[in-house]
Amino acid sequence: MALPSDLQTNTCAEACPDPTPSLPEQCQKHFTEPFERDKVISGGSTGIVVRLPCGHARKQSYPDDTPREREDRLLDFKREYEVYGRIVNRPHFLKMIEFSEQGGIILQGVEGHTLRYYLENQDTCIPLSKLIGWARDMAAALHTLHAFSIIHADVKPDNMLLDESHKVYLIDFSGSWIDGKPGSSVESVRFFLPRDIMSDSTVETDIFAYGSSLYEIMTSTQPYHDLDDEEVERLFEQGIFPSLELVPCGQIIKKCWTGEFRSIKDVQAALQEIRGS
């Protein structure tokens, strides 16, 4: 994949706010810092994310990857690098610090959890205003991606990160589609617009996945969480979706699922019309 020649990364000292005297020296070790299993933050099909001593996060290949697997992951890392190069300084995205073809990607470190983890483990009732705020922020992030001809292709609360102040970030672009060029990602069953698995990811598929994400944000559960994947797939193919009668933003979720929104901007407009939030 050819990368735009004008994509520039920041040095660590430039990217870190108010760096301490020791920070630049620590950050020179972004790609030489040894892998430590107890520092792993998360892992997925495109690699693992490791917390570094300087506070940043390194997205890298698995230590036991074969040469072919490393080569495949490199393509994904380059794709994510290109996405971050397009969305520099945009709200609701992490800051990319550095990139290495051999070492991976260094990203702004955030203390927190995925939105899914937070929803599943929160003991107290989350105010509706906060839920709608997260929904609006994620719609805004998707609007930014689509404006730069990027389809996320795996929108879900597990790819939404909350920091300690509950600011939300959209993450994981290693499988995204860019300028119509296929990526490696595809949505999981409860976020997947029924279609041929080999067909393109589009604005419409992202909106459908956003609808399922909005359902999860409002209910703290995934659509049809109590059914197996095969049954969910069958119901979705028939256009049969979970009841939305008592779900906040139910009509917005329904329109995402039934394809009534033509763009994420339409979703944003609908979210802005909600009163009392």
Report pLDDT for 23: 43
Residue 121 tokens read as 């483990």
Q: Is 112-272 the same fold as 12-107?
A: no
Torsion, CA 191, CA 193, CA 199, CA 201, rounded to 10: -60
Distance (Å) of CA 87 to CA 8, 41, 173, 251? 12, 24, 11, 30
Interval 90-131: pLDDT, tens: 999 999 999 998 889 999 999 999 999 999 998 889 999 999
Is the predicted pLDDT of residue 235 greater than 80, yes or no? yes
Report the top-level CATH class of 12-107: alpha beta
Nearest to 178 by CA among 29, 63, 78: 78
- 112-272 CATH choice from 2.130.10.10, 3.40.50.300, 1.10.510.10, 1.10.600.10: 1.10.510.10
Distances (CA, A) of 49 to 37, 79, 82, 119, 214: 10, 16, 18, 22, 26
210 φ/ψ angles, rounded to the nearest 5 degrees: -65, -40
pLDDT in tens, 24-59: 555 668 988 888 888 898 888 888 999 999 999 999
pLDDT tops 60 at residue 19 = no
Q: How many Å apart are CA 34 and CA 173, to the nearest integer?
A: 25
Exposure b/e, 84-123, CB count within 10 A at least 16 = b = bbbbeebebbbbbbbbeeebbbbbbbbebbbbbebbeeee
Q: Where are the domains of the chain?
A: 12-107, 112-272
Residue 21 has pLDDT above 80, yes or no: no
Of the chain, the percentage scoring pLDDT greater than 90 comes to: 76
Phi-psi region of 178 (alpha: psi -120 to 50; beta: other; left: phi over 0): beta
pLDDT score at 33 = 85
